[in-house]
Structure 1
Amino acid sequence: MHMSVSSFNEHFNSVISMSPLQYQKALRLQEARRLMFSHSKNASTAFRQAVLS
């Protein structure tokens, strides 16, 4: 990519409107919610599976 970490974070934030870390957390929460509702998982099991996948 030929850009510094700070430049990447700035560009990512301008495109997605959140930091890469916030985006990653949002994806994990979305996956945990999906597991809870579609597979009747409890919150802790769904979170563990979302983080490890």
Structure 2
Amino acid sequence: MPQHTRARVCRDCDGHATAHITTGTRHRDGTRLTLRIACPACKGSGTVPAARLARVGR
């Protein structure tokens, strides 16, 4: 039976890797212009590979 491993959640964004921020301007149809911003630590994936985790202690 295969083992399922849990993905490690990015500690910088808590797994919420992207945010949409409104700029305040509007398109001609009335919708707002938004910017999609990705977490710089995980590059928008929400998870971090095991190699990037830092070990604490000995």
Task: Mark yes or no: TM-score above 0.5.
Answer: no
**Greater relative contact order, per chain length (Cα 8 Å cut-off, separation 6+):** 2
TM-score by length of 2: 0.23
Which structure has the highest helix share of the two? 1
TM-score for the superposition, normalised by structure 1: 0.24
